[in-house]
Structure 1
């Protein structure tokens, strides 16, 4: 049943699909609104982290307050940075509208080359 729904959604043009149903990265709140319980328990990361060579980093979402059908809201979680858990208490996740977010852990893009150290 779920695959029939996914097939039907793929046939629609992406421009006709509401942001909360799009499979692509979006704002933090759009991404979280696609999941049950508004994304509580999901791992999410900023897509720009991979472009910067940051791997194994994500927020584990602990609670959310979404409004406007997932267009705005607040989210809290625990940060895991490069495989190490930062802090024990949840904190508000910043940059929910400012950056693009996706579900999973950050990973570097193929062909990534770090910048050489500056000599200044």
Structure 2
């Protein structure tokens, strides 16, 4: 989930990866992508249910396996208090678009940002 607060984008740091990413995770059997997105927001950063806007889906090979990633956007006026699970997600950073180049980002986040710029 790409979470925007104004123009800024929320990045999360997981305990098992060196790159920054978006909140998200796997879809459970029989689960819709939007339901998985809502569940992951609650599990990872403690956000309540918000209306998410589906934006794109990309396929790629990340972490050594072929995967399809469904992207959703959430636009907020202010960032509510986050409750990190401190197991999987250990840090967050709200970053301006012009600062994104200074972060090591996961492949899916790079693909999302490339799509926002039109390639």
| Larger fraction in strand | 2
RCO (CA 8 Å, sep 6+): is it higher in 1 or 2? 2
TM-score by length of 1: 0.24
